[in-house]
Every structure is written in structure tokens, then in C-alpha cells.
Chain A
């Protein structure tokens, strides 16, 4: 082979390699519950993330949004997509608990969740459709405190990040969030534990989205990364509970 031909061959291979590269190297898109906004990028900085309320993300995927992985804060959303044939069978990868947070120093003097019976406080609560809102309502029903949603000035927020921010900024006297969110604003909020007996099981599930063009291999690799030793360590660091290894 002459020198020119060899150079041409090498150049051709290089061009082919460049053309082939984007499909494999393109970042996958992960749609994840807002409460995972700190932990997931620490587990894998590669994907493009979209953090919102799980119900909002579910609706977007149902409309054909280009997600590769979906991680929800309750089994309902991922389970619904699975039943619709829009994602693989979901796997549980983390757990959480719900707490009540107040601005630092607890200026409105909330001693326990039962204090909210006295009313007239600014309370930030998730909408009924978002997991944190559903869990909150379930807890309040168990505690026989549903009436506090009427006796206080309640703002309904679309996801847990919005509730956390509102309380941390002092725009609300209290809000129901996950303990992991409380941990992320520990310098600006105080935590009030809710009775353990009233806690519903908060389970996070994720799945690979089924749509044309999904990068299944990379999506599965991401899920495996989250469930592997390092992923579990990061989740634990951020305050999440962990299911037994499967």
C-alpha cells in the first residue's frame, strides 16, 4: 500500500469513527423526581437531567418527551407508565420519610404537627397529584388532621423543591417535605419529625422509557449505576433509605 493510500485509509476510518460516535456518546436524558436533584448528579454527572414533580414528568413522557430513564418518588407514576407500555418494569432503589420543616428558629412556634390544629399559619403543601402531596394527605388523614388544610393558609406547590424553597426563604411557616430535602436546607430550616406510625412507605422507583430512539443500553447502565455500591452510598449520604439488595 502506498503512503497516500495508507493516509487515505486512516482518514476514512477517522471520519467513520467520528460519524459513528455521536449515537453512542450522546448523553441520555433522565427525568427524575425533584427530591433526587442533589443526589443523582453526584452519582452520574453525564446525563441530562430534568427534575420536576413525578406526576408532571409522567405526563410529559406520556406525551412523548425524549426521556431515557424515569425515576419517580412513588410507585404510582412509574407503575402507570409500565402499565401503559411506556416503560420497563420499575425497580425500587430508595426510600424516604416525610417530615415537617419550619424556617430556622421556628418563628411561629410549631412544636409538633398537632400544633397546626390551632390554624392561621402559612402552610406549604404539595398538590394532591404530586407524590409529596399525596403522602402528606395520607399522613394527615391517619393523624386525623385533615382539617389543618382548611384552618391554615395553605399554598399548594407543584413539587417538593418548591415547598422546601418557600419554607427556607420564610415565605411559609411550615411545609411537608422529605427528610432528604430537609437535609439539603438544614442551615435554614428546622425539622419536626412526624409520628412514625403515621408514615406511609415512601418508595422511589425507576424504569427505562420505551419510545423510538431510546438509548436502552445507556439507560440500563445508569439504573445499574444508581443501584450499585457507589450509587447506594451517595443516596445514603443524602439521607435516603435503601431497599435490600436484589
Chain B
């Protein structure tokens, strides 16, 4: 498996993220291509609103996982870089949302108790979150009306797909060929809500 360094992750995240798909292979090459600014049409904005909450939740997972015992230095370095790339995704998505931008203080992330007690549990949760992101990005890529919105969602999906594959390799899971099942924001939201609380309404 090709080693991913911190610079690659940051570069990916900074431009909105893209890489070549493939089990565990995270490539940075085409990511530098400039993206046209998305101009969501109608309810396209819903894909971005969902994605930014999911990316913030995922970023929290990368931050929390750094505390898990038994992870090697290079894994920690990659986790850290991935967390920073997630931050870049959030900024990119919030640029599209403008006045409706989502802030981390808008909700609280509450992972189930014991989620980070072991490496296996942490990885299972991480794969679930990345899987959710990849599947909803895929749905958005198929159904967003605005072509530049579809492009950004597609690039984010490919980036997160690589992270999903990387987490799978850490967990010892064989890569599954082909695309995951797309899921809409209704089903995706039900899954995401398990990890969220509204501040002051716990």
C-alpha cells in the first residue's frame, strides 16, 4: 500500500479534495485542478448542509482517534492530516452555504460510550462515518441539479472514498470493488443523528 504523507492530505483538503480511487491508494495529482464555484439550484443546498455536518462529525472522529492506544506514528500522522483535510472540506462546503454556514458550535457530537476504547471499535465507527459520507456524496453527485455542485460533491466523495479504503485496510477488511450504495439525506440523516445533540437540549 502506498504511504500517504501529511502534505498530500493537506493539499487534497485545501483544494476540495480529489484522488484516484483504488483500494488504499490516495493520490493527489488531479486535486490541484481548480473547481468552478458551485451555484446550487433549488434544494441542492441540502446536500451541502448535510455534508458539512457529517464532515464536522468525521473530523471529530479523527481528533478523538488520536487518543486510541496502539496506533503507530505514521497512522497517527495520517489521522491528523486527514482531520485537517476534513477542516478544509468544511470550509469549502461552508463557502457554498454562505449565510447558512454551519459552525461546530451549532450542535454537539456525542459518540457512543466506549467508541474509542479499542482500536477495533474506533475503526468500526470511523468506517461507518466515512461510509455514510461516501454514500451521501454519491447520491448528491447523481441528483444535484447544478453541474458545478455535482463536481464538488463528486470530488469530495472520491477523497472520502480513499479514506474509507485506508480505514478498511487498517481494520484488516478486504477492499470491496465497485461503488457503495448511494443513500439520500433522509436515510443518511437518521444515521448521522445518532451522534448528534443540539446544545442545551441534551
A48-79 near B? 1/0 per residue, CB < 8 Å: 00000000000000000000000000000000
Known: A141-B45, A142-B49, A143-B46. A196 touches B197 (CB 8 A): yes
Contact yes or no, A141 B186, CB < 8 A: no
**In the assembled complex, B107 has its CB within 8 A of some CB on chain A:** yes
- Listed by A's residue number, 29 A-B pairs whose Cβ atoms lie within 8 Å are A95-B201, A97-B198, A114-B186, A138-B100, A141-B45, A141-B49, A141-B100, A142-B49, A142-B100, A143-B46, A143-B189, A144-B46, A144-B184, A145-B43, A147-B43, A195-B189, A196-B193, A196-B196, A196-B197, A196-B198, A197-B49, A197-B50, A197-B53, A197-B189, A200-B100, A200-B106, A201-B106, A240-B200, A243-B200
Task: Verify if B172 is at the interface (C-beta below 8 Å from A).
Answer: no
* Chain B residues within an 8 Å CB radius of A146: 42-43
Known: A143-B185, A242-B200. A196 touches B107 (CB 8 A): yes
Minimal Cβ-Cβ distance residue in B for A114? B186
Q: Is the CB of B201 within 8 A of A97?
A: yes
User: Bound complex: CA of A179 vs CA of B201, how far in Å?
Assistant: 10
**A95 with B186: CB separation less than 8 A:** no
Contact across chains for A142 and B107 when beta carbons are under 8 A apart: no
Is B79 interfacial (CB 8 A cutoff)? Answer: no
Determine if B193 and A195 form an interchain contact, defined as CB atoms under 8 angstroms apart: yes
How distant is B60 from chain A, measured CB to nearest CB, in Å? 14
A241 near B: Cβ within 8 Å?
A: yes
Chain B residues within an 8 Å CB radius of A143? 46, 185-186, 189
Q: How large is the interface on A (under 10, 10 to 19, 20 to 34, 35 or more residues)?
A: 20 to 34
- Chain B, residues 163-198, CB within 8 Å of chain A (1/0): the string is 000000000000000000000111001101100111
Q: Besides the contacts A95-B201, A144-B184, A242-B200, what 13 more A-B pairs have beta carbons closer than 8 Å?
A: A97-B201, A141-B45, A141-B49, A144-B185, A146-B42, A196-B198, A197-B49, A197-B50, A197-B189, A201-B103, A201-B106, A241-B199, A243-B200
Q: Please name all residues of chain A whose beta carbon is closer than 8 Å to the beta carbon of B107 when the two chains form the complex.
A: 196-197, 199
- Total interface residues in chain B, CB < 8 Å: 27
In the assembled complex, which residues on chain A have CB atoms less than 8 Å from the CB atom of B198? 97, 196, 199, 241
In the complex, residue of chain A having the shortest beta-carbon distance to the beta carbon of B202? A241
CB distance from A199 to the nearest CB of B (A): 6
* B50 surroundings in chain A (CB, below 8 A): 142, 197
Asked whether, in the complex, the Cβ of A198 is within 8 Å of the Cβ of B42, the reply is no
CA distance A141 to B45 in the complex (A): 7
Give Cα distance in the complex from A242 to B200, angstroms: 6
Asked if A141 and B189 sit within 8 Å, CB to CB, the answer is no
Bound complex: CA A242 to CA B157 (Å): 37
- B189 partner residues in chain A, CB cutoff 8 A: 143, 195, 197-198
Residues of chain A in range 123-154 having any CB-CB distance to chain B below 8 Å: 138, 141-147
Q: Contact check, A198 vs B49: say whether CB atoms are below 8 A apart.
A: yes
B200 to A241, Cβ gap below 8 A?
A: yes
A94-120: CB near B (< 8 Å → 1, else 0) gives 010100000000000000001000000
Q: How far, in angstroms, from A242 to B199 measured CA to CA in the complex?
A: 9
Q: Which residue of B lies closest to A236 (CB)?
A: B200
Of listed A95, A114, A144, residue having the most chain B CB within 10 A: A144
Q: Please report the C-alpha to C-alpha distance between residue A197 and residue B105 in the assembled complex, in whole angstroms.
A: 12
Q: Give Cα distance in the complex from A141 to B107, angstroms.
A: 18
CA distance A201 to B106 in the complex (A): 5
Interface 0/1 of A26-38, CB less than 8 Å to B: 0000000000000
Complex Cα gap A94–B80 (Å): 35
Asked if A95 meets B200 with Cβ closer than 8 Å, knowing A197-B189, A199-B106, the reply is yes
